[in-house]
């Protein structure tokens, strides 16, 4: 270990000597996870990694190379030089050390001390709940914890190191019958220590009960509620269109529309890099640009795009602080924590208010459509039919399709309870005008 | 290296131990429109240890190769903590082998400049297309050398050379954005990617045609799949269900997936074959040191076999199949497909089309997903069939099916056949993309639900 501890220094030193500009991005981490499958503790795994990415500007051109093999730093420098021979013209300058950065919270020391035994016990607690609910259920669960460090150094004197922790869990329960197979899952991931999976297990088991009856689907238009879990169907394509690279190339439907009312005026979408312990929290992006809270959509009006240094220069704007990467790739525009502002209708009232409708919770096949245009067409993996304000069962073998910009232009209601899923915080959203496709 | 790994495995106080050390390098080129967003080389070196002790698995993966024993001890400690009921895994071998991909043109022998020029040529063709807004041209080759040893005395060195490319065109007219792509990728070497000029012209044509295509209407259709989409269909509709890690400790599913159960018409045959050299899913040995084989999954419409790792084979009392695969040293092996295909029958595509009064012809592959009960799959392009002829072009076509019903609705299987790999791959259990081959002939399926407006 001691040999690789300061792996970045000789790399930066040599690269600085040879090129106009150089940047070393060093990343490492340790994680552990326990896995239950089909009612049995199956495996415990440990993961250690460390890698380095080197970006250079040579004769005005960008070069990049990466490795996890730190025995020979000059090989990495050679690879970056070979890359720079062909690379695009650098339109940007690497940033120097930023002034005082905002205080942010990303590290919970308690996570370092979580033992595999404690994670096993957490998983077991969920298993007991599943067995108590129905001995025929098959329970699977993963619990993980990780620590992550990164350091960016460049030839303009920037040296920014940061570390973060995360801990998360997923619970899924399956029931197999002659007529088919039902599977419900929930997950969470956060920067602070997780003490239990019981709330995930409870949600999953409640949904298993609600899904017990199968209601035949038919071809019909009806109001639909997307739960936070399913809302990525609607917001995923919008995230792609906000990417400055697509804007620059003209393949984003949002190009040239800053200031325009694109979504329903009740929809406000904020990128907030300072939420304590959220998965996307950081003081600078992975190029050293300070991050800041900003609106993507303010009351439905498009405000900004996501850019890294090069993309911002191509678009002739200031970098938005969204250049993110792993050691093995160049920076690319990506969001921090995306928060969709909750509305004023409780989820229960939303359901109670439906004469006949569908709650979509899990889908299959997202991303297999024309996402650039905002199209989606998904199988409703877990969808509850509501009649007269009550859930009567689930549908099977049905599809729902539409365009996210049409759907989000006029929503019926936005729920008051937002939920964090990964780095996105989303409320339930009720929309009209979509058609369920089913046999018969 | 070999002796060191073998000794490590045999010294550990466990029921079974295996270790992998992987060294790889890859070259990527990525044009997005006029920008050459990525070009250059990446290298990786890392390893993992996996042990079984008293019914529990422990696994450790690392880049720090200086202290293998430290991670091996960690894996043992973890396995001990899992505990449970002691079981044995299928013992085959020991094997001593060295495998290296044989290619006519090794991508490593081609200069970065020549690779870049080729991609630039493809990019120019696409960007020169009328109504084309932007493009993507991606190229990747990788060489990965893996040393494998286990406590049973197996010691294998495998060296794979993958090479592939993807070209895509994006046509734009106002808010109407349409995309078309083509991709190749397998273990046949550099020659596979050097003649994609025609593909570039093709993606331009398809993207532009899609601008004027109508969104499909929601409903139930008779669908003819082309060979490429048939491969994805087989992969999603049945392949995943034949991976026995879903089945072996699932009592009800074991009953349902009983060997001998009818899944489709008697002219339906589905096979997984990891031993097809050159195909994207080829492996000489899997990541548990088991040689790959040809495994019939459905024969004459009836379930005849499934895919195994050492544990599932032993627990189900069936023979190992060589399907334990890990995408890299970062991951433990899990049961995966290799090259999965529907075998051809007699009918010609023309005849099949003529006999289809109303329906949809779905061509190429965009993607697919399954949850073991229901699945989706989507074509690159689709056309309406009217009175036995191909009619207007459709867009936004995603099809769905049910694992236990849709195979029964296949009523025609063609006489042609194509296998396809590509730059992408299959994802399962957080391991993506895994190189796989999918294939089949044209085939026709009744009563397929398509989402739409």
Task: Inspect the interface and report whether the beta carbons of B81 and A369 lie closer than 8 Å.
Answer: no
Q: What pLDDT is recorded for position A179?
A: 78
Averaged pLDDT of chain B = 96
Q: What is the mean pLDDT of chain A?
A: 95
A180, A401 contact by CB (below 8 A): no
Rounded distance between C-alpha atoms, residue A53 and residue A27, angstroms: 9
Shared domain check, A430 and A295: yes
Distances (CA, A) of B315 to A41, A425, B16, B244: 16, 43, 16, 10
Q: What is the three-class DSSP state of A428?
A: coil
CB A49, CB B331: distance < 8 Å? no
Write the residue in B42, B368, B396 that is nearest to A328 by C-beta: B42
pLDDT at site A282: 96
Nearest CA to CA, how far is A181 from chain B (Å)? 6
Which of A176, A207, A238 finishes a domain?
Answer: A207
How far is it, in rounded angstroms, from Cα A234 to Cα B437? Answer: 32
Q: A50 and B368: CB-CB below 8 Å?
A: no
Give the closest residue to A153 by CA, choosing from A42, A52, A273: A52
Do B189 and B229 have their domain in common? no
A174 and A278 both lie in a single domain: no
Same domain, B202 and B236: no
Residues of B in contact with A86 (CB under 8 A): 36, 39, 112-113, 116
Q: Which of A4, A372, A402 has the CB atom closest to B170's CB atom?
A: A372
Neighbours of A218 (CB within 10 A): 12
Same domain membership, residue A233 and residue A164:
no
Record the tokens describing residue A280, joined without a space.
């996307």
Tell me which chain B residues have a C-beta less than 8 angstroms from the C-beta of A87.
36, 39-40
| Radius of gyration for the alpha carbons in chain B, expressed in angstroms and rounded | 23
Same-domain pairing of A281 and A243:
yes
Q: Answer yes or no: do A324 and A437 share one domain.
A: yes
Domain identity same for A282 and A190: no
In chain B, which residues have their Cβ closer than 8 Å to the Cβ of A181?
253, 371-373
Using CA atoms, how far apart are residues A319 and A90, in angstroms rounded to an integer? 14
* Cβ distance of B177 and A372 shorter than 8 Å: yes
Q: How far is CA B425 from the centre of its chain?
A: 4
The enclosing domain of A139 has a CATH number of 3.30.2290.10
CA distance B427 to B368: 10
Nearest CA in chain B to A91: B35
The alpha carbon of B259 is separated from its chain's Cα centroid by a whole number of angstroms, namely 24
Task: Count how many residues are written for chain A.
Answer: 440
Q: End of a domain among B169, B189, B212?
A: B212
User: Domain tally for chain B?
Assistant: 2
Please check whether residue A30 touches B, CB under 8 A: no
The reply to whether B160 and B294 lie within a common domain is no
**Claim to verify: residue A283 and residue A201 sit in the same structural domain:** no
Residues B202 and B268 in one domain: no
DSSP state of B321: -
Q: Which residues have C-beta within 8 Å of that of residue B118, sequence separation ≥ 6?
A: B139, B193, B194
From chain B, pick out residues whose CB is under 8 angstroms from the CB of A47.
60-62, 330
pLDDT of residue A6: 66
The domain total for chain A is 2
Distance CA A63, CA A57 (A): 6
Q: Is the ipTM of this complex over 0.85?
A: yes
Of B43, B366, B374, the CB nearest to A396: B374
Contact between B59 and A437 using a beta-carbon 8 Å cutoff = no
How many residue pairs from chains A and B have C-beta atoms closer than 8 A? 265
Region A50-73: mean pLDDT is 95
To test the contact with chain A by mutation, choose from B14, B27, B39 the residue with the greatest count of A C-beta atoms within 10 A, namely: B39
Q: Of A146, A224, A144, A147, which is closest to residue A187 (Cα–Cα)? A: A144
pLDDT band for position A440 (cuts 50, 70, 90): low
A44 and A183 in a single domain? The answer is yes
Of the candidates A139, A50, A49, the one whose C-alpha atom is nearest the C-alpha of residue B331 is A49
In the prediction, which pLDDT does A3 show?
Answer: 39
Smallest Cβ–Cβ distance between A138 and the set B61, B250, B368 belongs to B250
pLDDT tens readout for residues A350-390: 999 999 999 999 999 988 889 999 999 999 999 999 999 99
Q: Which of residues 53-112 of B touch A (CB under 8 A)?
A: 56-64, 66-67, 71, 74-75, 78-79, 81-84, 112
The dihedral formed by the CA atoms of A352, A357, A360 and A365, expressed in degrees to the nearest 10: 180
Task: Tell me which chain B residue has its CA closest to the CA of residue A43.
Answer: B57
The torsion of the CA quartet A369, A375, A379, A384, rounded to 10 degrees, works out to: 160
CB contact under 8 A, A176 and B250: yes
**Co-location of A92 and A235 in the same domain:** no
The CA distances from residue B309 to A32, A383, B36, B290, B321, in Å, are 24, 34, 42, 9, 7
Q: Which domain holds residue B404?
A: 215-450
Tell me the β-bridge partners of B334.
B325
pLDDT of A246 over the 90 cut? yes
- Count of CB atoms within 10 A of residue B34's CB? 13
> For position B110, what pLDDT does the model report?
97
CA distance B445 to B423: 28
DSSP B187: S
Cβ atoms of A383 and A358 within 8 Å: the answer is: yes
CA distance A102 to chain B (A): 32
B40 phi, psi to nearest 5 deg: 140, -170
Tell me, yes or no, whether A138 and A279 share the same domain.
Answer: no
Interface probe for B, chosen from A249, A255, A323, A326 (most Cβ of B below 10 Å), is A249
The answer to whether the Cβ–Cβ distance between B374 and A397 falls below 8 Å is yes
What's the burial of A30, exposed, middle or buried (CB within 10 Å: 0-12/13-18/19+)?
middle
Beta carbons of B134 and A183 less than 8 Å apart: no
Any chain A CB within 8 A of the CB of B26?
no
Judgement on whether residues A267 and A200 belong to the same structural domain of the protein: no
CB < 8 Å to B222, chain A: none
Residues B288 and B202 in one domain: no
Q: Is the dihedral of CA A129, A135, A137, A140 positive or negative?
A: positive
- Of the residues A183, A207, A231, the one at which a domain ends: A207
CB atoms within 10 A of CB A89: 13
Contacts A365 to B, Cβ<8 Å: 367-369, 376-378, 398, 400
Among B144, B140, B64, which Cα is nearest to B101's? B144
Residues 393-452 of B with CB under 8 A from A: 395-398, 400-402, 404, 447, 449-452
d(CA A359, CA A226): 6
pLDDT at A177: 87
Q: Do residues B417 and B227 lie in contact, with contact meaning Cβ atoms separated by under 8 Å? A: yes
Is there a single domain that holds both residue B84 and residue B25? yes
pLDDT of A4 over the 70 cut: no
Shortest Cα–Cα distance, A99 to chain B (Å): 30
Tokens representing B392?
């207007």
Are A73 and A88 a contacting pair, CB within 8 Å? no
pLDDT category of residue A2 using cuts at 50, 70 and 90: very low
Domain boundary among B179, B212, B245: B212
Output the CA–CA distances (angstroms, integers) from residue B243 to A26, B305, B306, in the order listed.
Answer: 38, 10, 6
Of B180, B212, B244, the residue at which a domain comes to its end is B212
How many Å lie between the alpha carbon of B135 and the closest alpha carbon of chain A? Answer: 9
* Owning domain of residue A152: 2-207
Domain shared by A173 and A271, yes or no: no
Query: pLDDT value at position B198?
Result: 98
In B236-275, the residues whose Cβ lies within 8 Å of chain A are 249-250, 252-253, 256
Query: CA torsion angle for B2, B5, B8, B13 (degrees, to 10)?
Result: -110
Contact across the interface for B369 and A365, Cβ inside 8 Å:
yes
Query: How large a percentage of chain A has pLDDT more than 90?
Result: 92
Closest CA to B294 of B255, B323, B315, B262: B323
Do the Cβ atoms of A47 and B61 come within 8 Å? yes
Nearest CA in chain A to B76: A44
Q: What pLDDT is recorded for position A1?
A: 34
pLDDT tens for the 453 residues of chain B, in order? 888 999 999 999 999 999 999 999 999 999 999 999 999 999 999 999 999 999 999 999 999 998 899 999 999 999 999 988 999 999 999 999 999 999 999 999 999 999 999 999 999 999 999 999 999 999 999 999 999 999 999 999 999 999 999 999 999 998 899 999 999 999 999 999 999 999 999 999 999 999 999 999 999 999 999 999 999 999 999 999 999 999 999 999 999 999 999 999 999 999 999 999 999 999 999 999 999 999 999 999 999 999 999 999 999 999 999 999 999 999 999 999 999 999 999 999 999 999 999 999 999 999 899 998 899 999 999 999 999 999 999 999 999 999 889 999 999 999 999 999 999 899 998 999 999 999 999 999 999 999 987
* B219 close contact with A: CB closer than 8 A: yes
Please indicate whether, in this complex, the C-beta atoms of A88 and B60 are within 8 angstroms of each other. Answer: no
> Residues B11, B139: one domain?
yes
**Are both B362 and B245 inside the same structural domain?**
yes
Burial degree of A256 (CB within 10 A; 0-12, 13-18, 19+): exposed
HSE of A317 in the Cβ direction (CA atoms, 13 Å)? Answer: 18
Q: How far apart are CA B284 and CA B298, in angstroms?
A: 23
% of chain B beyond a pLDDT of 70 = 100
Contacts of B145 in chain A (CB under 8 A): none
Cβ-defined contact of A176 to B252 (cutoff 8 Å)? yes
The pLDDT score that the predictor gives to residue B452 is: 85
CA distances from B233 to A331, B230, B236, B367 (A): 36, 5, 5, 10
Q: What is the CA radius of gyration of chain A?
A: 24
Q: Given B64, B67, B256, which is nearest A176 (Cβ)?
A: B256
From the CA of B331, how many Å to the nearest CA of chain A?
9
Q: Indicate yes or no: CB of B177 within 8 angstroms of CB of A373.
A: yes
CATH of the domain at B205: 3.30.2290.10
Listed residues A207, A239, A264: the one ending a domain: A207
């Amino acid at each position: 270990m001691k040999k690789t501890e300061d792996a970045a220094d000789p790399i930066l030193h040599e690269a600085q000597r040879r090129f106009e500009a150089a940047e070393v991005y060093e990343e490492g981490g340790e994680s552990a996870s326990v896995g239950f499958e089909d009612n049995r503790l199956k495996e415990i795994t440990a993961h250690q990694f460390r890698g380095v990415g080197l970006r250079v500007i040579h004769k005005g051109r960008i070069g990049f190379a990466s490795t996890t093999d730190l025995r020979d730093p000059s090989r990495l420098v050679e690879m970056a030089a070979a890359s720079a021979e062909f690379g695009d013209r650098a339109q940007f300058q690497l940033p120097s050390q930023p002034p005082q950065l905002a205080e942010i919270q990303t590290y919970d020391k308690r996570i370092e001390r979580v033992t595999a035994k404690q994670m096993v016990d957490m998983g077991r607690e969920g298993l007991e709940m599943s067995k108590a609910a129905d001995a025929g259920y098959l329970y699977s669960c993963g619990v993980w914890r990780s620590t992550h460090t990164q350091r960016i150094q460049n030839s303009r004197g920037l040296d920014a190191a940061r570390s973060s922790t995360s801990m998360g869990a997923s619970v899924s329960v399956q029931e197999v019958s002659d007529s088919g197979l039902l599977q419900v899952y929930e997950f969470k991931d956060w920067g602070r220590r997780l003490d239990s999976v019981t709330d995930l297990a409870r949600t999953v088991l409640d949904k298993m009960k609600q899904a017990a009856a199968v209601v035949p689907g038919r071809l019909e238009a009806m109001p639909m509620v997307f739960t936070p879990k399913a809302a990525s169907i609607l917001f995923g394509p919008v995230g792609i269109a906000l990417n400055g690279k697509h804007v620059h190339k003209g393949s984003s439907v949002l190009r040239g529309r800053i200031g325009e009312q694109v979504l329903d005026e009740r929809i406000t979408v904020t990128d907030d890099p300072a939420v304590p312990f959220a998965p996307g929290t950081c003081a600078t992006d992975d190029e050293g640009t300070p991050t800041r809270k900003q609106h993507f959509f303010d009351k439905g009006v498009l405000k900004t795009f996501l850019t890294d240094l090069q993309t911002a220069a191509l678009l002739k704007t200031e970098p938005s602080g969204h250049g993110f990467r792993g050691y093995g790739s160049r920076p690319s525009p990506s969001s921090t924590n995306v928060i969709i502002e909750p509305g004023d209708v409780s989820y229960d009232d939303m359901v109670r208010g439906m004469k006949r409708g569908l709650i979509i919770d899990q889908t299959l096949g997202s991303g297999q459509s024309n996402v650039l245009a905002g199209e989606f067409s998904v199988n409703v993996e877990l969808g509850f039919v509501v009649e007269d304000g009550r859930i009567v069962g689930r549908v099977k073998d049905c599809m729902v399709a539409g365009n996210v910009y049409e759907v989000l232009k006029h929503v019926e209601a936005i729920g008051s309870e937002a939920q964090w899923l990964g780095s996105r915080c989303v409320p339930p959203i009720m929309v009209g005008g979509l058609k369920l496709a089913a046999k018969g | 290296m070999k002796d060191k790994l073998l000794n490590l495995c045999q010294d550990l106080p466990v029921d079974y131990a295996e270790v992998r050390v992987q060294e790889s390098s890859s070259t990527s080129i990525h044009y997005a429109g006029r920008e050459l967003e990525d070009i250059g080389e990446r290298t990786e070196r890392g390893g993992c240890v996996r042990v079984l002790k008293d019914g529990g698995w422990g696994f450790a993966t690392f880049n720090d190769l200086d202290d293998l024993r430290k991670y091996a001890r960690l894996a043992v400690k973890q396995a001990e903590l899992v505990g449970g009921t002691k079981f044995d895994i299928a013992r085959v071998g020991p094997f001593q082998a060295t495998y290296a991909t044989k290619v006519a043109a090794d991508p490593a022998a081609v200069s970065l400049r020549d690779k870049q020029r080729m991609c630039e040529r493809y990019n120019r063709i696409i960007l020169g297309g009328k109504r084309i807004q932007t493009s993507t041209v991606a190229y990747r080759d990788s060489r990965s050398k893996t040393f494998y040893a286990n406590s049973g005395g197996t010691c294998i060195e495998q060296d794979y050379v993958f090479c592939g490319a993807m070209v895509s065109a994006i046509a734009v007219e106002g808010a109407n954005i349409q995309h078309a792509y083509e991709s190749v990728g397998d273990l046949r070497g550099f020659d596979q990617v050097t003649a994609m000029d025609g593909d570039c012209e093709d993606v331009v044509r398809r993207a532009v045609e899609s601008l004027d295509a109508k969104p499909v209407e929601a409903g139930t259709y008779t669908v003819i799949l082309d060979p490429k989409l048939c491969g994805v269909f087989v992969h999603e509709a049945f392949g995943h269900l034949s991976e026995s890690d879903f089945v072996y400790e699932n009592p009800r599913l074991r009953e349902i997936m009983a060997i001998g159960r009818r899944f489709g018409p008697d002219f339906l045959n589905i096979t997984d074959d990891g031993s097809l050299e050159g195909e994207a899913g080829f492996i000489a040995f899997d990541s548990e040191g088991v040689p790959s084989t040809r495994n019939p999954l459905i024969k004459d419409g009836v379930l005849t076999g499934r895919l195994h790792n050492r544990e599932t084979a032993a627990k189900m009392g069936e023979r190992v199949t060589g399907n334990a695969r890990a995408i890299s040293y970062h991951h433990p092996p899990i049961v995966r497909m290799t090259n999965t295909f529907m075998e051809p029958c007699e009918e010609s595509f023309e005849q099949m089309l003529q006999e289809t009064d109303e329906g949809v012809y779905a061509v190429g592959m965009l993607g697919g997903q399954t949850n073991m009960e229901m699945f989706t799959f989507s074509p690159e392009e689709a056309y309406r069939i009217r009175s036995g002829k191909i009619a207007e072009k459709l867009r936004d076509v995603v099809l769905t099916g049910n694992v236990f019903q849709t195979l029964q609705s296949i009523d025609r299987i063609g006489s042609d056949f194509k296998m396809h790999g590509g730059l992408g791959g299959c994802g399962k259990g957080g391991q993506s993309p895994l190189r796989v081959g999918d294939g089949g002939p044209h085939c026709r399926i009744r009563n397929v639900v398509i989402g739409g407006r």
